[in-house]
Structure 1
Amino acid sequence: MAFPEIDVRQRLTVSTGYGVAEILVQASADLVGTTLGESGLRERDITVLTLQRGTLVVPNPKRGHVLEAGDRLLCFGKLEEMRSMIPGRRRRTRKVKRLPAEPIHDVVTPS
């Protein structure tokens, strides 16, 4: 069997809208405690290529692997579906000072 030099990105770009992305399983994610089979990723057209937990890397993980917070999943699938799994960034709220009830008058200092 010959293994010719190939551009992996080109091979994985099957059609528009598909690609490879890494998904971090957040502690608050619904995925925590579910198996890959129960996660619903396959139904969303996402295939997990590798699961990284700390220094352990599991290539082609089986459906029975239970997901934990902090797991990194290297996935191939619909980019839009994978984007939807990334939690939205929290917007910072500006601290607004309340105006005093009484108007502020300019204080004139004697010269």
Structure 2
Amino acid sequence: MEVNEIAFNLILYSGNARSKVMEALKLARLQFFDNANEMLKEADEELEKAHKVQTNMMQEEAKGGSSSLSILLVHAQDHLMTAMLARDLSEEIIDLRQSDNKQ
């Protein structure tokens, strides 16, 4: 897979995941916790796709394949890391909101 294609796939899957995370937070705010958790699962599926693309890229490089670093690829990695952080933080926020709701 070409570097630009890798980058665009990372951006696509990361963007999808981030959108689902934000939707999960909105659902939690409305106290639809089951739906919010389902949306987080969907975000996880998108992050898994991105992670596979990233892992394949690293494995190819480890095998001696050439890799070129581009600003687009750096940008894509940034998207992935931001989406992963948003996912982790949203789970904590939703758990806190759900705990507060039970009290």
Measured against the shorter chain, the TM-score band is under 0.3
Structure with more of its chain in strand, by fraction: 1
TM-score by length of 2: 0.23
- Between structure 1 and structure 2, the one with the greater Rg is 1
TM-score by length of 1: 0.22
| Larger RCO, structure (CA 8 Å, separation 6 or more) | 2
Structure with more of its chain in helix, by fraction: 2
